[in-house]
Amino acid sequence: MMISTRGRYALRVMIDLAENQRDGYIPMKDVAQRQDISLKYLEKILPVLAKNNYIQGVHGKGGGYKLTREPKDYKVGEILRLTEGDLAPVACLECGAEPCQRASKCRTLSMWSKFNSIINEYFDGITIADLMAKPNTP
């Protein structure tokens, strides 16, 4: 599993909006500039977040985007699943996947299932508020 720029940028956008929420609606160009993300790329990410009520947008003068919830109420896992799709490490564990013919004999299925649980539990245990509070060290 590799998280794409779409998922990583969506998280950066959400953190940016959270950190600047006191300013009301934040223009997309301001987010793009602060995050060093092309405006064209943001134009693909923000509508997905808005359509799913993660953010709210207003057009025109004084317009922009803002969060619809508190930063503590956004789980990283939900944002990644929205932007990346299923986080399953193998196709047979993806949501809605056809049952695998080999599942009953598969020696690795339990390993992949456990890994899938670890991934989802880990990302669902981190919020945007957590990311705002942590220093930028690996």
Closest CA to 8 of 79, 105, 87: 79
pLDDT in tens, 33-67: 999 999 999 999 999 999 999 999 998 888 899 99
Tens-digit pLDDT profile for residues 4-28: 999 999 999 999 999 999 988 999 9
Residue 136: per-residue pLDDT: 64
Q: Which pTM does this prediction carry?
A: 0.89
Residue 2's nearest CA partner among 79, 85, 74, 76 is 85
Q: In sequence order, what are the residues at sequence separation of 6 or more whose Cβ sits closer than 8 angstroms to the Cβ of residue 34?
A: 16
Q: Is the dihedral of CA 130, 81, 31, 25 positive or negative?
A: negative
Q: What is the DSSP letter of 85?
A: -
The CA–CA distances, whole Å, from 52 to 19, 31, 56, 107, 113 equal: 21, 19, 9, 38, 28
Say how far apart CA 72 and CA 65 lie, in whole Å: 18
pLDDT, position 73: 98
